[in-house]
Amino acid sequence: MAATESRLSAVTRRLTAERGLAGFTVEEVCAEVGVSRRTFFNYFPSKEDAVIGIDESEAMEQLVAQFLERGSRGWAAVVDDLIELAEQHARAAGFGVAEHVELLAAIEREPKLLAHFIGISREREQQLAELIAAREGTTTSDPLTRASVQVVATTLRLSGERMLHPADGDDDFAAALTESLAAIRAVLTASEPEKDNA
């Protein structure tokens, strides 16, 4: 399923970058990937969502279920669990530098995709807040819930930016997630240097 999702996104991104969203049909994408139109819409509600890679598949539902099944174990575990599950999803989908570059090329060809991306990001952050609140027994407006959402969002953004300038042979988005989260934690827990009173 993850491979099909990844291929549908890749083809839709490429065709968008080449022709624009109006320059191809869902049927063309499906013919190239070798799936039915119904299969496309099982994964993505629209071409725009396929370009961005926001899926509504069973795989995503499973990740949500796994997060809830782990149960409440403290706020650090909330972020750890979400990043770990994001890593699993990225590895299964094979997301790396090429995919990130394709996404940016599609957005450059179709600037309206940026607004769509921002809208989806806000919607996903709200869904993430609801998910965290459900597991932790809080509300979506709780400061710890909102902070957890922003830490995850920032980790994802930093990892995406790293994909634009990867070190030699370093195109592993999942690894970038782990390292970006470690960097955020290092900054937050760094002790202040002692001042010389002399």
pTM tops 0.75: no
Is 5 part of any domain? Answer: no
Closest C-alpha among 71, 83, 52 to residue 152: 83
Is 43 part of any domain? Answer: no
Is 81 part of any domain? Answer: yes
Q: Which domain holds residue 65?
A: 58-189
Counted domains in the chain = 1
d(CA 70, CA 58): 19
Sign of the C-alpha dihedral computed for residues 78, 55, 177 and 124 taken in this order: negative
Q: SS3 of 36, please?
A: coil
Convert the pLDDT of each residue in 138-196 to its tens digit: 999 999 999 999 999 999 888 878 777 655 455 677 788 888 999 999 998 876 665 55
**7, amino acid identity:** R
Is 152 part of any domain? Answer: yes
86: CATH = 1.10.357.10
50 CB-contact burial (10 Å; exposed 0-12 / middle 13-18 / buried 19+): buried
Q: SS3 of 34, please?
A: coil
Convert the pLDDT of each residue in 80-115 to its tens digit: 999 988 888 777 666 666 777 788 889 889 988 988
Q: SS3 of 120, please?
A: helix
| 78 vs 116, more confident | 78
Whole-number pLDDT of residue 89: 73
CB 81 within 8 Å of CB 67: yes
Closest C-alpha among 13, 6, 12 to residue 26: 12
CB 128 within 8 Å of CB 134: no
Is 77 part of any domain? Answer: yes
Whole-number pLDDT of residue 78: 95
CA dihedral 159, 162, 166, 170 (to 10 degrees): -10
Convert the pLDDT of each residue in 16-48 to its tens digit: 999 999 999 999 999 999 999 999 999 999 999
For residue 191, give both structure tokens.
């002790």
Is pLDDT above 90 for 72?
yes
DSSP class of residue 24 equals S
